[in-house]
Homo-oligomer: A and B are copies of this chain.
Amino acid sequence: MITVEEARALLFDLVAPLPAETTQLSEASGRILAKDVEATRDQPPFAASSMDGYAVKSTEVELHAMFKVVGEAAAGQRFDGTVGPGQAVRIFTGAPVPDGADFVVIQEDVDRRGDLITITDGPGAKANIRPAGVDFTIGARISAPRLLRPEDVALMAAMNIASVPVTRKPVVALISTGNELVMPGEMPGPDQIIASNTFGLKALLEQNGAHVRVLPIAQDTVTSLETAFDLAQGADLVVTIGGASVGEYDLVADVSEGVGLERSFYKIRMRPGKPLMAGRLGDAAMVGLPGNPVSAMVCGYLFLVPMVRRMLRIDQVLPPLQRARLIAPLAENGGREHYMRAIVNHDGIRACDNQDSALLSVLAQANALLVRQPHDPARTTGDEVTYLPIQ
């Protein structure tokens, strides 16, 4: 069996950064910029007033100076003439500063009567003009890769970049396996339960930038599994859930090899989630997750999300591990790396009482996975431990 770290490295060998596609600017937030983009213009494209006031020559600005107002410059509508000596142009925020003027006296500092203004308050040294290109100039670049935030979208809008090259979303096909499963909303038979893993994983992976296809539940037969693998074609990552253990009904390993899986590894020295297999299946990566719901979700955080982020070209494949102090002791850990469901708050961190990997009710209360190394000794209250946030 291999470690979590080794498994992740092997999984990364199964995926590659995806190519770019073009999206509309209005849909670009949260996507990954795939190629550098450049401003197609200067911003502002002209020297612009930053205040409402009067555009004049700076050499003429002094207390009690008088000017004749000869025109008006509004945002979107410049004054076409030139400001001469003793002249002023009424100007509004964002308007082009007219030729001949290099100073804007704010309107609060003047007294206007008809076409005449007088400076009534000391106008100070600030010209209240934004030079052309002060925000950015043609060719200013936003470098890829970059997770695009709302601020980047606003900046690209100002740069007049209407179409944005972004990394294509990884397509993940999810296959739940097992005769015991029915979909939510159906009426389960007495021996059946509701498929939950695909729904949790779909939400988790979509939240991390994937496009998820939930395939029909595969029964525990060769034919049903083969059909599922066939339906998964075109995905970048095929994920089976359940059927990857050693029971006689665990057909995933056999069938996936039958349809061409080149296996990378089988089993990881971790809890929960030991039975996990992976390999290359044609053009796709394939991962077989254990069927216990908590194991599947934890493997989603530790392996699937990093694979998705790798395909998206995001450097930070996992959120950084955090540290907190225990507010309850921990028994010695066994021989496998353990990701314990835990609750962290201002007071510290506490592992949930029941670590059974079937308990979704416990997972839904947890907001952290407390990470323990193999054979980590017993820990007491106050000891510092590491955890992966899952909220």
- Of residues 88 through 111 on chain A, the ones whose CB sits less than 8 Å from some CB of chain B are 92-96, 107
Q: How many copies does the complex hold?
A: 2
**Which of A154, A162, A356, A359 has the most chain B CB atoms closer than 10 A to its own CB?**
A154
Chain A 246-262 per-residue mask, 1 if CB under 8 angstroms from chain B, else 0: 11110000000000000
- Chain B proximity of A45: nearest CB distance (Å): 7
A25 to B160, CA, bound (A): 38
Find A134's partner among B157, B181, B356 (CB 8 Å cutoff): B356
A149: B residues at CB distance < 8 A: 203, 364, 390-391
A365 to B281, CA, bound (A): 41
A29 to B300, CA, bound (A): 16
Find A196's partner among B28, B78, B154, B193 (CB 8 Å cutoff): B154
- The answer to whether A204 has its CB under 8 Å from any CB of chain B is yes
The reply to whether A155 and B360 form a contact with Cβ atoms under 8 Å apart is: yes
A358 to B49, CA, bound (A): 11
Given A150-B200, A179-B76, A184-B157; A191-B135 close (CB under 8 Å): no
The reply to whether A77 and B161 form a contact with Cβ atoms under 8 Å apart is: no
Given A136-B361, A358-B50; A76-B178 close (CB under 8 Å): yes
A30 to B360, CA, bound (A): 18
Find A92's partner among B203, B204, B247 (CB 8 Å cutoff): B247
- The answer to whether A4 has its CB under 8 Å from any CB of chain B is no
The reply to whether A201 and B74 form a contact with Cβ atoms under 8 Å apart is: no
A341 nearest CB neighbor, chain B only: B151
How many chain-A residues does the 8 Å CB contact rule pick out? 91
- The answer to whether A9 has its CB under 8 Å from any CB of chain B is no
Given A200-B154, A203-B153; A191-B247 close (CB under 8 Å): no
The reply to whether A360 and B151 form a contact with Cβ atoms under 8 Å apart is: yes
- Chain B proximity of A24: nearest CB distance (Å): 9
A157 to B195, CA, bound (A): 7
The reply to whether B153 and A199 form a contact with Cβ atoms under 8 Å apart is: yes
Which A residues are closer than 8 A to B by beta carbons?
A: 25-26, 28-30, 41, 43-46, 50, 52, 74-78, 92-96, 107, 130, 134-136, 140, 142, 149-163, 178-181, 184-185, 188-204, 206-207, 214, 220, 245-249, 291-293, 297, 300, 356, 358-361, 363-364, 366, 390-391
